[in-house]
Structure 1
Amino acid sequence: MRLGSVARAPLFLRVFLLMLICVGVVQLMNLALLIAVQSPAARLSTVGEVADALQRGADHTGAFDVKRTDTVQTFKWTPRAERLGLALATAMQVDPGRVEVHFPTPFLQRELVYNRAGIPAPVAPASADAARTAVLTGDFVASLRHPDGTWTVVRSGGFEPWRWFVLLWLILSAAAVAPFAWTLARRLTKPIATFAEAAERLGRDPRAAPIPLEGPMEIAEAASAFNRMQARLNRYVDDRATVVGAVAHDLRTPLMRLGLRLEGAPEDLRTACEGDIRDMEAMVSATLSYVRDTNTLLERRPLDLRSLAETVIDDLSDRGAAVSLAPGEPVVIVGNSAALKAMLANLVGNAVKYAAGGEVSIVADPDQVRVEVRDEGPGMPPEDIERAFEPFFRGERSRNRDTGGIGLGLPSARAVARAHGGDLTLKSREPRGLSAIVTLPL
């Protein structure tokens, strides 16, 4: 009971708890950082150390970054920089105008602007030895101009150890929270991916198995609603197919009675009416076959589509039809062998009937296979291309059943293609002919 209640816990509660866990882990890491890290000590340097680095143009202690440059950046005046610049000049016994000192403003801190007129001028140290004992704290940039116009620049260098420690701690904190974030992301996206797969499966096979009712309460309710929708759609289609099939089946009885009543009619009238009755019986039989084929649950398994097409082509070739299949590699898809074979026979049979032959090619892309049946017949007007898939529509206007058919072949073929998650389209060829293109998912 407890496991079931946990499995049905609302998604909102799960997300909320995971977020609380993430926040708690981060706060614990911050608390541990506060306890473990030592208070960072201010970086201290003497004026003498900086003066030696400026005069030598190098620093062997590694405390400073020293380089030679042609120009230096101009900074705003500050009393502290002026005092320490004067101390550096005194320690090196050079003109104060050749020395520049600057203290960078910390990140996100506003740089102060001083009014020099209101601040008294600094007093130089009594001697060079006294100047060398002055202390510089924090980050600074000191520059010495040489007689040739170039500058030696000394910067307080490098990341301090405590900064590296804090950076490492931040990385560890992110690594500690990452599993919870990964779990949260998977729990949020997995149900969505499941619904996307179910919607795709429903488009390919309306009678696919329902979605399992598992996961959080919201997901289980959504899955249940999706399953009810799928069941209603199937019932709706079944009801319509049943009605159409029943009407087509019941039409046979009045047609038979009409045939019996025509026995005593004049010869010419009886002959004409019997021809119409045969046409109506053929339409009824085709309708029943169409309803049965489109409403039957198709058993699917992996099959080689090229081998299936070769079977159809060989059968028509044995009857003397001029049909051919372009060579290529085997193409394995998941489908119903009988339905796909009937679809291919329908399309290739149309090419033989209306163009005395055709060519079939099968090309596999990374995610789908394309079957194209080409002929060089009279083709079809552009306005009839899409109407050709309407039940009982015939592009051949003579209404002769022997030349035009019933008008259910292409609708049935498209129904098979769409039942397998693909589609069937027609395209006119130049200068003449027609292409029937079937796309099926791999």
Structure 2
Amino acid sequence: MTFRRGGAGSPLFLRVFALMVVCVAVTQLMNFALLIAVQTPTAKLYTVGQAVDALRGKPGDDDFSVSREEHFTEQPWNPRGERTEIAMAKAMGVPVERVLITFPTPFLTREKSYDRASVPRPMSPASVQAARDVIITGDFTAAYRADDGRWVIVTTVTGFEPWRWFVLWWLIVSAAAVAPFAWALARRIAKPIGAFAEAAERLGRDPRAAPIAIEGPSEIADAAAAFNRMQARLNRYVDDRATVVGAVAHDLRTPLMRLGLRLEAAPDDLRQACEGDIRDMEAMISATLSYLRDTTKQGVRKPLDLRSLAETVTDDMSDHGEPVTLAPGGAVVVEGNSPALKAMLNNLILNAIKYAGSAEVSLAEADGQALIEVRDDGPGVPPEDLDRVFEPFFRGERSRNRDTGGIGLGLASARAVARAHGGDLVIRNREEGGLSALVTLPV
């Protein structure tokens, strides 16, 4: 089978690379525009007089917070702090030892160490007013030791300045500008992956489903073509195996017929025993051909109501005197092949009737799954045989009597139909006795 790549486009990695370059370019353009638009922030200026008024408890300045503490940690000496402390002491009229000032250390930097001997001692301001007019740049913490020995501490209160709001809104606008490109990139990457997930799910439900469309970037087109080739190979493999088994089973009928003719001259007791074996072999051949036909035949799938299908099966069996009941309920719609699902339900009910004498059928829908349960009140199945009952030709009834034990293909055929529809079939022993066969099908 040949797949054409007429719809393949440019490679996916080139598309992703191009979108990433566009995103980076847009971000850089926004940052460049921010660099031009925003004004350089200036440090706030204070005077020694403002700090002194705050230390003395004068109200009216919201730029400072005042507290009283037992101790105050002094910073290492620096020229700026010494000059400001001398001016504050002059303005307050107290010894310089009772005044301290500290400045915030820049983030991720160390406080610079100064050599006191190499820096000239600053001069005290000429007057109190000159001292009050000394400028303090930026944030600071000033402390004054009161007469009771406690420290009066004044700290600048910095609000969220207008330029910070501008930068914050600019970052939000930049993210909004880049978001469409990021969304397009994520969509381009996720869409092919989602398509492959849907195709894998569809292949599990229906191996004969239509191939994936060969379109999109070259990598996706190549992967889709490989997936389609894998699906075709799997179908050919299954078909070849089924054809070989079916041909062998069909051709066995000819030697069996010749054996029957040759037994005409045999003694009665030998002829009757051999004819019984021949009938058993013919029944097995018929059951095998029927199993292959049910599991390989691809019928048309369309939406159908499982309850109507179950009512048809149970009503037909009830008309023939079989003790089978169907629990009431609403419609349960699935997409499937009606003859195959009907044969599956028929196998499960007949299996329950054969081993338990009666069957109870119920249908429900939960979590996107259609549930079909067939219960009986029979002896159940030994725990070690719960998985083996689905093996072809395995019979839980050990007498080897075909009239009571069957051929051993009913449950295998039923599970094959359920799995071909994307579901499954499991059986379990009921706590109150009997067996429960539960079929799950996607709604």
Q: TM-score, normalised by structure 1?
A: 0.89
Q: Which residue of 1 aligns with 2:244?
A: 243
Q: Which amino acid aligns with 2:22?
A: I
Residue number in structure 2 paired with 1:31: 32
Give the corresponding residue for 1:206: 207
Q: Counterpart in 1 of 2:382?
A: 381
Rate the CA distance shift 1:241–1:152 in 2: closer, same or farther, 3 A: same
Residue of structure 1 in register with 2:169 after alignment: 168
Aligned to 1:15: 16
Are the equivalent residues in 1 in contact too, given 2:306–2:334 (CA < 8 A)?
yes
1:308 is matched with which residue? 309
Deviations 1:134-160 (A, max 9, x none): 111123233456667574533241122
CA distance, structure 1, for counterparts of residue 97 and residue 143 of structure 2: 11
Number of the residue aligned with 1:128: 128
Q: Distance in 2 between matches of 1:144 and 1:362?
A: 86
**Amino acid paired to 2:425:** L
**1:345 maps to which residue?**
346
2:72 and 2:143 in contact (8 A); partners too:
no
Partner of 1:139: 139
How far apart are the structure 2 equivalents of 1:84 and 1:108? Answer: 25
Partner Cα separation in structure 1 for residue 120 and residue 262 of structure 2: 131
| Contact 2:72/2:151 (<8 A) preserved | no
> Is the partner of 2:263 in helix, strand or coil?
helix
Cα distance in structure 1, aligned partners of 2:402 and 2:167? 86
| 1:215 match: secondary structure | strand
The whole-number CA distance in structure 1 between the counterparts of 2:81 and 2:202 is 74
CA contact (8 A) 1:51 1:88 kept: yes
Q: Does 1:325 align with 2:326?
A: yes
Report which stretch shifted further, 335-344 or 122-131. Answer: 122-131
Cα 1:339/1:113, change in 2 over 3 Å: farther
Deviation at 1:84, TM superposition (A): 2.4
CA distance in 1, matches of 2:290, 2:170: 73
Task: For 1:18-417, list aligned pairs within 5 A.
Answer: 18-56=19-57, 58-60=59-61, 64-66=63-65, 68=67, 74=73, 76-79=75-78, 80-93=80-93, 96=96, 99-113=99-113, 124-143=124-143, 149=150, 151-417=152-418
Q: Secondary structure at the match of 2:347?
A: helix
Cα drift, residue 417 of structure 1: 0.9
Residues 69 and 377 of structure 1, relative CA distance in 2, 3 Å threshold: farther
Q: Residues 188 and 425 (structure 1 numbering): CA distance in 2 closer, same or farther, change over 3 Å? A: same
Aligned equivalents of 2:170, 2:7: Cα separation in 1: 34
Secondary structure in 2 matching 1:25: helix
Does the CA contact (< 8 Å) of 2:100 and 2:144 recur in 1?
A: yes
SS at match of 2:216: coil
**Residue range with higher mean Cα deviation, 216-225 or 80-89:** 80-89
Inter-CA distance 328–70: structure 2 relative to 1 (3 Å threshold): farther
Change (3 A) 1:311 1:91: farther
Asked whether the 8 Å contact 1:57–1:67 carries over to 2, the reply is: no
- Shift in Å, 1:182: 1.2
Return closer, same or farther for 1:7/1:295 CA change in 2, 3 Å cut-off: closer
3-state SS, counterpart of residue 215 of structure 2: coil
How many angstroms apart in 1 are the aligned matches of 2:91 and 2:305? 91
2-side partners of 1:71 and 1:361: how far apart? 82
TM-score for the superposition, normalised by structure 2:
0.89
SS in 1 for 2:309: helix
Contact 1:326 1:359 in 2 (8 A): yes
Distance 1:46 1:100, change over 3 A: same
1:187 deviates by 1.1
Which letter maps to 1:139?
Answer: D
Give secondary structure in 2 for the equivalent of 1:373.
Answer: strand
- Cα separation, 1, equivalents of 2:8 and 2:142: 66
Structure 2 distance, partners of 1:408, 1:190, is: 42
> How many residues in Structure 1 have an aligned counterpart in Structure 2?
437
CA distance, structure 1, for counterparts of residue 434 and residue 122 of structure 2: 99
Residues 121, 309 of structure 1: alpha-carbon distance in 2 compared, 3 angstrom cutoff: farther
* Greater alpha carbon shift after TM alignment, 280-289 vs 253-262: 253-262
* Seq. identity, %: 67
Task: State the alpha-carbon separation in 1 of the partners of residues 178 and 32 from structure 2.
Answer: 15
Does the CA contact (< 8 Å) of 1:25 and 1:177 recur in 2?
yes
**CA-to-partner distance for each residue in 1:101-136, whole Å, 9 max, x for gaps?**
332223333344556687676654343311211111
Quick one: distance in 2 between partners of 1:290 and 1:388?
15
| Secondary structure at 1:50 match in 2 | helix
Task: Classify 1:69/1:335 alpha carbon distance in 2 versus 1 (closer, same or farther; 3 Å).
Answer: farther
Q: Show structure 1 runs of 5+ residues with no match.
A: none
* Alpha-carbon separation, structure 1, partners of 2:303 and 2:385: 35
Secondary structure at 1:370's aligned position in 2? strand
Gap change, CA 1:262 and 1:28, over 3 Å in 2: same
In structure 2, relative to structure 1, the CA distance for the partners of 1:95 and 1:302 (3 Å cut) is farther
CA positional deviation for 1:73: 6.9
Aligned-partner Cα distance in 1 for 2:7–2:319? 65
Q: Which piece of structure 1 moves more, 352-361 or 412-421?
A: 352-361
Give the stretch that moved more between structures: 210-219 or 331-340. Answer: 331-340
What code does the residue aligned with 1:250 have?
D
